[in-house]
Amino acid sequence: MTDTLDAYLEAALTSRRSDRQQRLNHIGVAVAATDSGSHIVTAVLHASPAFAAGLLRGDRPVSVNGAPYHPVYSFNPEPPALPEPDPRSFRLVFERSGERQEAEIRPVFNNLLDSYRSAVEPSARQFNMGNKVVGYVRLWGVSRNANDLVMLQKVLAGFRSTSSLIVDLRHAAGYLAEEHLALFLPADRNDYYSSPMALIIDRTTTGQAEFFARQLAVLDRVTTIGAATPGGFHPDLTVPRPLASSTPGDPRFEAALALLGGLI
């Protein structure tokens, strides 16, 4: 049993057999450890328990049911016991902008890759800008499973009437590959997304997600926004977003929306 969420996600990504993709109780967040030994939320999956409870990037979990917060052991037994479904609700105390808040939260029991995959479709949104419409989707996780390709085709079909699209590749996990790229690139069939796009990237855009971004960025109709990736891919428009910032909203998303609003 591993003691970090990143390790569980990596184990799910590297195992081709679903029966080896260890499930655990979790609330649908990515966290980073701080120098003081505490944790800070770096991302909240759409449609997750944390999303439903209103947790945000930058929140600092403090305790769960009165015990110090741990991203794995707050909701699962410590070794040598293995995780089993826990139907209880938990009382989570967290800090936001220096103030403590509480939330009742019930974890899900799943492997992390499947939770990332299931967050893609609920992330899809459309925003009215005057007489135009901008779409948004966050590619949290995509696997080699053919069902994921069908799901992404369905999501993009919902954007056919939009004037432009924001594709969010932050914390993207999985296997974004040629067949997924084909949904955005010119082809003999006229079933790819051909309107202007903004890609949001940052230091969490790694591996195949970074490759995916690089391939799309060669198109004149695509603009990259955010921060440099670990592989050295720099965005067209750098927009800072300090993790510890107490400023509400998402400046990188807002910059993408403003950019597309000026293009269309």
Supply the DSSP string of 51-108, one letter for each residue: HHHT--TT-EEEEETTEEP-TTTTTSPPTTSPP------EEEEEEETTEEEEEEE--E
Q: What's 26's domain CATH number? A: 2.30.42.10
Indicate if 127 and 107 belong to the same structural domain.
no
pLDDT score at 22: 86
Q: What's 179's domain CATH number? A: 3.90.226.10
Indicate if 173 and 258 belong to the same structural domain.
yes
- Range of the structural domain that residue 66 is part of: 5-112
pLDDT score at 34: 92
pLDDT score at 186: 79
pLDDT score at 131: 83
- Which residue do the tokens 């107490």 mark? 246
pLDDT score at 229: 98
pLDDT score at 165: 97
130: which DSSP letter?
T
Return averaged pLDDT per consecutive 10 residues of the chain, 264 residues in all: 86 72 93 93 97 96 98 95 94 96 97 96 94 95 93 95 96 93 80 93 96 96 97 97 78 95 70
Q: Report the number of distinct structural domains present in the chain.
A: 2
pLDDT score at 129: 87
Indicate if 83 and 132 belong to the same structural domain.
no
Q: Which helix (H) or strand (E) holds 238?
A: strand 237-238
Boundary residue ending a domain (112, 130, 148): 112
Indicate if 133 and 230 belong to the same structural domain.
yes
CA atoms within 13 A on the CB side of 4: 10
Boundary residue ending a domain (87, 112, 137): 112
